[in-house]
Chains A and B, each alone.
Chain A
Amino acid sequence: MRTPWISILLVGMLTAVTATAATAASGPHANERYVLISHAADSDVWWNTVKNAIKQAADDFGVQVDYRNPPNGDLADMARLVEQAAARNYDGVAFDIADFDVLAKPAVRVTAKRIPLVTINSGTQQESQKLGAIMHVGQPEYEAGKAAGERAKAAGIASFACVNHNAANAAAFLRCKGFADALGVDARKSMIDTGVDPTVVENKVSAYLRNNPRTQAILALGPNSADPSLLALQRMGLAGKIYFVTFDLSSAIIDGIRKGTINFAIDQQPYLQGYIAIAALAIAHEDSTRDPAAIIAKLKTNAAFQSRLREYALKPVYTDEGVSSGPAFVTKDNVDTVAKYAGQYR
């Protein structure tokens, strides 16, 4: 009885393998293969935009791109994935600096093989250089949190609750801390560790607000905490009465900004992090260069890239050191341009 079952399973798997293998690129660079490694758990919706971006970059540059992540968001597993990328001899590797210490050693495996490296998302320019990366595309978490906190302080806010759906992540904590430091309050006392389950997030936020009715503001660290927090506020009749700030974007967040239940969102334009990382690696490979200025100059003249920017109304921030993807604040004034592509390309 068991033999047919095994055969069916085997055949099913083999078919799936050939099906996925068939989606290869064509053209002069079709044999080039790049990888982008993130620290995010599978359930993190934010990285979907990056995934879409690297697919489009792969199409525009005619190369193949893999996306890899540790399913549980465990950074030690991410380190193994970076080592694995080196062993596989990719033509270029991009990853986010979720934690410098954890990734420093695996990054050496990549750079020792002279594989071009680009870092994205969290982490700083200095860390990126120490890792031997060509460039860093992202926004520093602490500074972004602080900028948002200063904006809130200007609006008269003095206390807040930080809804942290990823309490085990160092970057998430820095966002809270930046905001708290701007207001001059204790980050740990303002933090609600919620986990990712939306029901639990919602209940914990309402419980916190019942216990601390004087809370003036809510800081959500991403759609995973913003969406259920908003729901909690609506159920309690507090929507629009509490100053609500969130990191990143989702359909519910866009909707909240339109209705006025969310005051503003801090957007780091993830699309640019994914797209520019792959584009830079492809250019570095084609021109055999490691000079960020030359790569960015060539990217600026790329027609496909410019048309993507126009299509999704994205504005990369070109600096002396390279290029940043954010931060940008999304408010009622500019929400409509962002709304159309929220969660997919914005």
Chain B
Amino acid sequence: MSSTSSPLLRTTSKDPITVQSGAMQSSALQNDERVRRISPWRSFISRPEFGSIAGTLLVFVLFGIFAGHSGMFNLDGVMNWAQVAAYLGIIAVGACLLMIAGEFDLSIGSMIGFAGMMMAVPSMFMGWPMWASVLFAFLGCMALGGLNGYLVMRTRLPSFIVTLAFMFILRGLTLVLSTYFSNSTIVSGVGDKVSSDPVMSTLFQGSTLHGLFVWLAHTGIIDKLPNGEPIVAGMPKVLLWWLLLALGAGFVLSRTRFGNWIFTVGGDSAAAQNVGVPVRRVKISLFVFTAFCACLFGVLQVADVGSAAADRGLQKEFEAIIAAVIGGALLTGGYGSVLGACFGALIFGVVQIGISYTSFDSDWYRVFLGAMLLLAVLFNHYVRLHATRSK
């Protein structure tokens, strides 16, 4: 189950295990550097996500200085950027696991648009109930993810190229579907259909914990609108989905055999194959998982904004990869963490929305977005370099 005896772990993100086993070894092994005692602080700062946590703090400090009084850190402001981070976080978790396994999926963004269309078209034009459309969207996306993975494994072509092809194919199909069925590039009215399906609206739409927020507003802990409602109606469900997905993926990656396989496959897939790791199955299932994440993004977004459109999810694949990289994942695979990717998504979401709270001219938006990301990544890299340097 755990990795104590795994020589395959090229890079260890699980130093605490080394500590435990080190304590159990006899004194003959005292000089072996693999089992040396590591202080909890050192083991914390040498984890892949430490840099991105430090980067997140830096970003918060910067926006605290430049946008502190603009409402960015009021409750409705926080919910606003947290939602952006949560959407990105959902796909970043998928992209991160796939990157640790040494593969890319560039079709994530197009998959988001396509998932929305697969959910909207059957329910709006074919009379399917909403739950069936949503199920169809999830199954369809996961099948496409599986096809992506199968083609990559079968042809041994770089996943970069295979999924790039799907990026175009799916974006085009999204447009074809929407103009064919609705004579428009946008399919409206899906949100109302979701609301009328109790299970789907409970799962994907709006916010929850409304009572708690009303009570908080009543006691004066949070602000009220002029009509007496709390300033934020509740906790957006996308945040809970993000939390759930991150916890699940984090657990699998760091506490299960499958998690070890992911690291191993990304570190050296030939070596992994030789010791009996089912490389093909691991990679294909991660492509399926990434497609699932993209679909979840698409379904949540359609339920939230109420319509599916041909231009949803543009360039989200890059944002997901950026979030994973900020979070410490290596582009070459074999190293990274789910927690890191989540902080990467948080950095990206805060920077993206935070810029609007400062008085920047919007023409400079991308310049500052790029500069902030570079700053976060450099800082992250610098911190990690210092933290992991042996003394």
Bound together, the chains give a CA A170 to CA B229 distance in angstroms of 34
A79 CB-CB contact with B under 8 Å: yes
Bound together, the chains give a CA A167 to CA B72 distance in angstroms of 34
Bound together, the chains give a CA A114 to CA B175 distance in angstroms of 38
**One of B360, B365, B371 near A9 (C-beta < 8 A):** B371
**One of B312, B357, B359, B382 near A20 (C-beta < 8 A):** B359
CB-defined contacts of A187 to chain B, threshold 8 Å: 183
Q: How large is the interface on B (under 10, 10 to 19, 20 to 34, 35 or more residues)?
A: 35 or more
Bound together, the chains give a CA A109 to CA B359 distance in angstroms of 22
* Smallest CB gap from A174: residue in B: B184
* Smallest CB gap from B192: residue in A: A101
CB-defined contacts of A67 to chain B, threshold 8 Å: 361-362
CB-defined contacts of A310 to chain B, threshold 8 Å: none
Do A76 and B305 contact each other (CB < 8 Å), given the known contacts A173-B184, A173-B185?
yes
Known: A75-B305, A84-B357; 16 extra A-B contacts, CB below 8 A, are: A6-B375, A16-B364, A16-B368, A17-B360, A20-B359, A42-B365, A66-B356, A74-B312, A80-B353, A83-B80, A87-B71, A87-B76, A101-B189, A101-B191, A102-B305, A173-B184
Which one of B79, B301, B356 has the highest number of Cβ atoms from chain A below 10 Å of its Cβ? B356
* Smallest CB gap from A102: residue in B: B305
B361–chain A nearest beta-carbon distance, Å: 6
In chain A, positions 151-191 with a C-beta closer than 8 Å to chain B are 167-170, 172-174, 177, 187-188
Do A170 and B364 contact each other (CB < 8 Å), given the known contacts A79-B305, A87-B71, A188-B179?
no
CB-defined contacts of B359 to chain A, threshold 8 Å: 20-21, 24, 64, 66
Bound together, the chains give a CA A114 to CA B231 distance in angstroms of 12
Which one of B71, B309, B312, B365 has the highest number of Cβ atoms from chain A below 10 Å of its Cβ? B309
Q: Are B225 and A99 in contact (CB under 8 A)?
A: no
B201–chain A nearest beta-carbon distance, Å: 14
Q: Are B356 and A170 in contact (CB under 8 A)?
A: no
Do A88 and B70 contact each other (CB < 8 Å), given the known contacts A5-B378, A72-B315?
yes
CB-defined contacts of A80 to chain B, threshold 8 Å: 80, 83-84, 353
A226 CB-CB contact with B under 8 Å: no
**One of A74, A87, A109 near B72 (C-beta < 8 A):** A87
Bound together, the chains give a CA A67 to CA B359 distance in angstroms of 10
B161 CB-CB contact with A under 8 Å: no
B268 CB-CB contact with A under 8 Å: no
A10–chain B nearest beta-carbon distance, Å: 7
Do A88 and B375 contact each other (CB < 8 Å), given the known contacts A80-B353, A101-B307, A170-B184?
no
A335 CB-CB contact with B under 8 Å: no
Which one of B71, B304, B315, B357 has the highest number of Cβ atoms from chain A below 10 Å of its Cβ? B71
Bound together, the chains give a CA A168 to CA B109 distance in angstroms of 14
The 4 closest A-B pairs by CB, nearest first: A168-B311, A87-B77, A168-B310, A87-B76
In chain B, positions 194-245 with a C-beta closer than 8 Å to chain A are 225-227, 229
* Smallest CB gap from A22: residue in B: B359
Which one of A64, A84, A89, A172 has the highest number of Cβ atoms from chain B below 10 Å of its Cβ? A84
Bound together, the chains give a CA A100 to CA B368 distance in angstroms of 31
